[in-house]
Structures are given as C-alpha cells and as structure tokens.
Amino acid sequence: MILAYKLLVADKGKYTALLVGTTFSVFLMVQMTSSFAGILTKASSTVINIGASIWVMDPAAPNGILSNVPMPDYVLDAVRSITGVKYAVPLYSGAALVKLHDGTYQPVTVIGLDDTSLVGRPKMLEGNINDIFAENGFVVVKDEEYHKLENPQIGTEFELNDYRGVIVGIATVSTGALFGTPTLYTTYYRAIHYIPSMRFTISYILVEPKAASYVPYIKQQVAQLGYLALTNTEYQNAISSYLKYKTGIGTNTLLMTVIAFIVGLSISGQTFYTFIIENLEHFGALKAMGAKGRELVYVIIFQAGFTALAGYGLGVGLSTLIIAGAQFRLPEYASRVTYTNLGMAFLMVLIIAGVSGYAGVRRVLKIEPFDIFRG
Amino acid sequence: MPGAAIVADKLSKWFGQGEAKTYAVKEVSFAANWGEMLYIVGPSGSGKTTLLSMISGILRPNSGSAKVDNRDLWSLSDDELADFRLNTIGFVFQDYHLFSRLTTAENVAIPLVLQKRSWDEALRESARYLDVVGLADKANLPPTKLSGGEQQRVAIARAIVHQPEILVFDEPTASLDGETGRKIVSFVKTEILTAKRCILIVTHDSRIFEYSNRIMEMEDGRVTGFQQGQAV
C-alpha cells in the first residue's frame, strides 16, 4: 500500500486536483445539509426548549411552527382526566410587539408558562424564576436575538401592547428560534391577559404520562377528543416533515446536495480517471513484472479510498470552520453539523470514490502487459 | 543447475482469424542454457518481442510450449504466471518504464515490494543494487534527472534486485549512443550474467553482438539460423 500511496501523492498536481474536487464536493454537501439541519432544529426550538413529553394540540395546525389553533379550557380538563396522565398544563405561545426605548417596535415570541407549575421553564442565568410571578414580570432569553431588545438587564422596563413589562430574569435555552425574534417567558395568565387573543387561549397542553407505557393510550384518548397528541420526538419529526415536504426548503436543499454530489463526482471522477489513464503504462509495467490483477485493483481502491477519506476530512473541516466562523459573526445563522449529515456526505463520497475507482479498475484490468512490453 | 534454462517447442502466435490470420511467430523451437547470453536478432516485425513475451509468461501462445527451468509455463494459471514473472524473470523494457514520480531507489525496490517485502527492507536492497550498477549516489533522484545510460542501469538494477534466474532485455540499446550501449551490455555480461542465470536480449543493434554467447536470427516469425557469438 506504500507503493499505492507513493504513486498517488507523487504527482502533486493531480493529487491536489483530486483532493480539491472531493473536498469541494463534501464541503458543499455538508454545508447544504447542515443549513437544513439548522433550520429544522431552530424550527423545533419551542418543542426542544420546553421539553414536554407529550404535546396536545389542535390537529388543524399539526406543523405547529407557523401557527397554532387555540384550544378551549375544557380540553385541558378532559386531558387531565385521562388515565395515565401524571399532569397536564396549558402553554401559551404567541407573538407580540415590544416598544423599544428608541420608539421602534420589535416583534417577540411570548411563552406563557403554567402559573402553578412553570412547566417548561428555561434555565436561569440571572435572577430567580419565581420572580416571574412579580408584577409585570418577564424573563428574557439571552440568545442570538437578545440584542434586538437592546440588551435588557434585570429591572429593564419595556412596553408590550401598552402594558408595562419588567425584566425579572435572564435565561438561556438550548436552541434559538428560527424566525429571528427574541423570546420572553412569563406566566400563562399574564400572557393571555397582555396579548390579544381569540376566544380560546391554550396554545398547547403539555402532558407528562405516569409511565411511558401510557403514551399510546393517552394519544388514543386525546384523538377521541378530536385533538392530536404527539410525543416530543414525534412533534419534532412532524415539524421536520412539514419543512421537508410541504415547503420548498427541503427540495432546494436536496437539489443543492445533488448538484454538489454531481460536481464532486464530475471533478473527482474525471480527475481520478485521467490519473489512471496517465498511469496506465505504469500499471501495465507492474502487471508485466508480476503484479496480479487483484493487487492492482487493491492499489486503485486504496488510492480512490485514500483520496475520498482525505477529501472528506478536509471538506468536513472546511465546512465546520466556515459554519463556526459564520456563527461567530452572525449568531442567528442556522446551521448545524449532525451525524446524519456527516454520514450522508460520507456515503456520497464513498459513491464518488467507488464510481471513480470502478472506471479506473476496468481500464487497468484490460491492459495487457504485452502492450507495454512491445512499447 | 543442469539442463537448459529455457526450452521452446514449436511456439506459434498468430493474430486475427480466417484470411486476416497473421503469424507473428511460427513454430519456433530453441533452447537457451544457464550461464548463456542469447541474442534474438532480426528486422522489425520478425517476431522477436512476441517470442520473448511468450517465453517470459507475458503472452499466451496459440500453440506449442515453453519450459523455463523445467516448468511448463502455459499450463500455469494466471496467478501462477504472475508469480512466475515476479520471482523468475527480470524485465528490462525498451522504454525502461521507470516511474518518473518515484525516486531511483524506489523504482528499483518495486519488484521487492510486489514480493511483499517491507518498504524499508526493499529500499535497503535497492540501495545495494544501485551500488552494483554504479548509481548509489543517484538513489534519491527521480529517473528524469538521469541520463539515458543511467536510466538503463536503473532498469537493470530493478530487473536484478529480486535475483531472478532469467533476464529479458528488449532492445536495451535502442535509445543509447553506441559507446553507452556497449558499456551497458559489457556491464551486463561481466557483472550480471552468472552460471545460474540466463539472459535473453532482443536487439538489432549489431554493435553489441560481440558480447553475445549465441545469436538466434529470426525473420517473418521463424528462426532462420543460429550463430556462435563473438564472446564465446
């Protein structure tokens, strides 16, 4: 294999072209799929951050990211009475406008937590979560959108729908929101009181089952009420599916990923094939000297595999570097490198290596040492 | 090592079928002995290289047999033939076929690497044989930095590094000037040829005939005669 490696890297120009092609392809693939993964994660931010086991919602808005259909209070009572429900609490999620000190308005997402339990409360950075019960108390999330509220501190006052609001705590959440709006937490009662709403006010009912085995039964009972119950994972998947299949985002990402794959295959495949053709007489000489056909196949597989792996590493590194750099400058940049993305890019790069190698193997196996011998 | 090194019996090779059938080599029989440097000479297209290919396990004949060290070559499988070439034959190609991107030492080490010897060991042996051909100081240069004669010597070092019993040279002096060509062949005769080795040289360069033990003449795919070489 040292010989295969030497033959591969000795031609620095060709090897660089091979690496650049594969790296560029992997970079594009990882970049595109990571952006998509970032969007998916941010779209599910409320679900992730609240972290309830089961979400009950009106099935009219199953995607839950663009809107939710408020539910009447009796649904909450009905859910609480289902066997296997440990507890069920209401959650408000809505949008409002905050008037800033400079006179401009900033849209915010307001999360109203159940007044008695504060289920779904964020992790506090400053202040005490119990202060949320104070008059006009709001907890602001210190995420990438925080600065849009003029970096409020504890005690900062603001105006929300002509109501006075006071920051009583600063919190953090694991995932920022997709639509670039700051998030404020308050109590459920205050949220529905401050923000104009429809006749019904419960955005979601958060359910904790007594045991995981009750989940199917609870879902069935909720369905009989005419509502939809999804586990945390199911809800995130539903949001992902909505974005993938009911918006153009999934198609665009898929298209760009396929284009990246084709670009990579074209550049790397063509370069590798040219590399093999230019070295054909060397392979023929090796064959004449006693190398077996399968040994030459191993050489080509090693060379294609080595290039693919090196390109993969460089491509992933480059993507990660650029994503990290972009997020450093633009914190709201939605991009997330996941194991699935890496696995998909790895699979594609293996296909590129396989196709490139196959073309080379066919040529090398066909060459006759006699052709080399007679010049 | 008793007996003949190589015995060819009615070896024939043709290309094409029917009316297009053309004989490259037709029923050639000959024997080459251990310790002998046998030249195969003749005009272009006389079948010299085709014959050399058939007795070195590169080209399968259409009929006839070739025995090398009492082994019937063409009864061997493809893998066995590859092993035979790797362990028994040393090739010096007309165009050398040196790997321009590898160093001279790495080029010489290739047969040992193919024999699954370790890279370091192969390079050590390679250095020893580069010394034999007088190129120890050129070990780390690429072949492209060497003169034609030096490249030829690198090719010879590569052909002998794994100590094969049979050496085949195809037009070894074709791209060398007369003086260099004579030096190379003289070197092969005095330093490489041993009683346990047989060397076949295909050439039509009469300037090097003086170093042969025997000369086999070919024309139109047939052997037309033998001459005792001047070195006898």
pLDDT tens digit sequence for B72-94: 988 889 899 999 999 999 988 88
Averaged pLDDT for residues B161-174? 87
Does the distance separating the beta carbons of B93 and A372 come in below 8 Å?
yes
The pairing of strands B4-15 and A183-187 is unpaired
Q: What is the Cα–Cα distance from B187 to B172, expressed in whole angstroms? A: 12
Does the distance separating the beta carbons of B119 and A372 come in below 8 Å?
no
Q: What is the mean pLDDT of chain A?
A: 87
Specify the pLDDT at position A53.
92
pLDDT tens digit sequence for A198-241: 788 899 999 999 999 999 999 999 999 999 999 999 988 888 88
Averaged pLDDT for residues B86-108? 89
Q: Of A161, A288, A343, A181, which is closest to residue B95 (Cα–Cα)?
A: A288
**CB atoms near residue A162 (< 10 Å):** 7
Specify the pLDDT at position A269.
80
The alpha-helical segments, DSSP class H, found in chain A are 2-10, 12-43, 45-50, 73-80, 188-194, 215-224, 232-245, 248-278, 280-289, 293-329, 339-366, 369-373
Averaged pLDDT for residues B33-49? 90
Q: Say which range, A14-18, A263-267, B124-128, has the weakest mean pLDDT.
A: A263-267
- Counting Cα atoms < 13 Å in the Cβ hemisphere of A176 gives 20
Give the mutation candidate from B85, B97, B116, B162 for the A interface (greatest A CB count, under 10 A). Answer: B97
Q: Which DSSP state fits A360?
A: H
Does the distance separating the beta carbons of B59 and A290 come in below 8 Å?
no
Give the residue numbers in B contacting A (CB under 8 Å), as ranges: 49-50, 52-53, 58-59, 78-79, 82-87, 89, 91, 93-95, 97, 99, 101-102, 106, 110-111, 113-114, 119, 170
Averaged pLDDT for residues A116-135? 92
What are the distances in angstroms from CA A368 to CA A203, A360, A365, A371, B201? 74, 15, 8, 5, 21
- In chain A, residues with a C-beta closer than 8 Å to the C-beta of B99 are 7, 10, 282
Does the distance separating the beta carbons of A288 and B58 come in below 8 Å?
yes
Does the distance separating the beta carbons of B101 and A373 come in below 8 Å?
no
- Counting Cα atoms < 13 Å in the Cβ hemisphere of A205 gives 28
- In chain B, residues with a C-beta closer than 8 Å to the C-beta of A281 are 97
Q: Which DSSP state fits A71?
A: B
Specify the pLDDT at position B61.
92
Chain A and chain B share a number of CB contacts under 8 A equal to 75
Specify the pLDDT at position B14.
92
Q: Say which range, A363-372, B38-47, B103-112, B223-232, has the weakest mean pLDDT.
A: B223-232
Tell whether the model's pLDDT for residue A257 goes beyond 90.
no
Q: What's the N-to-C CA distance of chain B in angstroms?
A: 20
Q: Say which range, A16-30, A315-329, B155-169, B174-188, has the weakest mean pLDDT.
A: B174-188
Specify the pLDDT at position A11.
79
Highest mean pLDDT range out of A218-227, B189-198, B219-228? A218-227
Q: What is the Cα–Cα distance from B98 to A6, expressed in whole angstroms? A: 14
Residue A208 neighbours by CB under 8 Å, 6+ apart: A52, A53, A54, A85, A86, A87, A88, A119
Tell whether the model's pLDDT for residue B1 goes beyond 70.
no
Burial-class residue B76 by CB neighbours within 10 Å (0-12, 13-18, 19+). middle
- Residue pair B55/B47 in contact by the 8 Å Cβ criterion: no
Q: What is the Cα–Cα distance from A242 to A98, expressed in whole angstroms? A: 30
Specify the pLDDT at position B232.
44
| Position with higher pLDDT, A62 vs A91 | A91
Bridge partners, B168 (sequence order): B91, B200
Q: Which of A368, A369, A373 sits opposite B170 (nearest CB)?
A: A373
Radius of gyration in angstroms for the set of CA atoms belonging to chain B, rounded to a whole number? 17
Which residue, chain included where needed, has tokens 């004449």?
Answer: A288
Q: Which of A3, A368, A372 sits opposite B97 (nearest CB)?
A: A372
- In chain B, residues with a C-beta closer than 8 Å to the C-beta of A4 are none
pLDDT tens digit sequence for A160-182: 888 899 999 999 988 777 777 89
Q: Which DSSP state fits A121?
A: P
Residue of A nearest to B57 (CA): A288
pTM score of the predicted model: 0.73
User: Two tokens at A368?
Assistant: 């006759």
Which of helix, strand or coil describes residue B57? coil
